[in-house]
Amino acid sequence: MRNIIIASLVLLAGSQIAYAKPRNLTFISQLTRSQTLDLGKTGPDMGDITVNMGDVLDPKTGVKVGSYVNRHIMVDVDQAGGTDTRDISIQYTLPGGTISMTQIMTYSSTTKLPMTQGDRAIIGGTGIFAGVKGSQTFTPVSGQPGRFTIKFNFR
């Protein structure tokens, strides 16, 4: 019984800390690993799943401060203009907890990278991020494929 009470107090403290933290966080994300599960016919097709993993870096020092994993499910392939549409879920593990997001996004069929800057809906978190809502904006870093500036905007 004692362990349950201690865990409850830690969770309550974490919720209060989340609101005391800054409303915005900015990091660099760096892709380190990617793999695609090719379902159905060979090549890009509806239902294919891609899993990406990477590091979260402090933008000022370049030091790793966390990690991320995201899952892409292909929902529409080879649209006009050479694009694919994907349903994406992503989790960032940062000091003090995790942040979870979701998005529908358009990718380049040829480079397999996002076409432009995008926004993701923050759907929750754990630890000091428990109960967070808001959005995450990411911008591709010019000339560095797989690297993005990410900004979390909490409310």
The answer to whether residues 86 and 103 touch, using CB atoms and an 8 Å cutoff, is no
> Could you read off the pLDDT of 113-153 as tens digits, one per residue?
665 567 788 899 999 888 888 888 877 777 776 677 778 77
Q: Is the pLDDT of residue 65 over 80?
A: yes
What is this structure's pTM?
A: 0.73
| CATH fit for domain 2-154, picks 3.40.605.10, 2.40.480.10, 3.40.190.80, 2.60.40.3140 | 2.40.480.10
Q: Is the pLDDT of residue 19 over 70?
A: no
Name the average pLDDT for the chain. Answer: 77
Domain boundary assignment for the chain = 2-154
